[in-house]
Amino acid sequence: MATYFLTGSAEKFAEMRAILGAIEQLDFDLPEIQELDAKKVIEAKLNEARQHRRGAFIVEDTSLYLDGMRGLPGPLIKWFLRAVGAEGIFTLADAFGNNDAEARTIIGYAAEDGAVAFFEGAVKGTIVKPRGAGGFGWDSVFQPEGLSRTFAELSPEEKNAVSMRRLAAEKLAAFL
């Protein structure tokens, strides 16, 4: 039976497929609960997916934790971006006087028998004025520690080599 990665994002699917290989994209419009615990968001999505289809499922949540905001927006980043955009994320971090951040991906894997496992990858960095045309979401404001460019200024291959999604996906690949 197939392993499905539940995402509407072609970019996320391409990153995951490059690491995991034979997975299929399933573009379900799953409800996303509002919760500060990313694992609870993932579990809710996995449970919903099992109501519609049989198989093994992968769901990921990539969150952005701003130190100056005590970890917000975290898993709520999607909603913050819709409200204020990437420029607004920079403005918020700057207003709090602390531009340190952590980008974190948690992948939930539900086996066909329903057993769930989680895999996490994290990258520390800085929130900067938006730069770059590549990537998606908040890539233009996140500059990984040790680099002088934002995720949006990196090629897809460069980004995938240092991304939190890659770190989490490699843990999942070793598990599988």
User: What is the total count of domains within the chain?
Assistant: 1
CB 132 within 8 A of CB 149: yes
pTM: 0.90
CA of residue 24 relative to chain centroid, distance: 18
The rounded distance, in Å, linking the Cα atoms of 46 and 119 is 14
The CATH number linked to 18 is 3.90.950.10
Domain that holds residue 144: 3-175
**Across all residues in the chain, what is the average pLDDT?**
91
Band the pLDDT of 101: cuts 50, 70, 90. very high
Q: For residue range 24-45, what is the model confidence (pLDDT) as tens digits? A: 898 877 777 888 899 999 999 8
Q: Is the pLDDT of residue 64 over 70?
A: yes
Helix (H) or strand (E) holding 122: strand 116-127
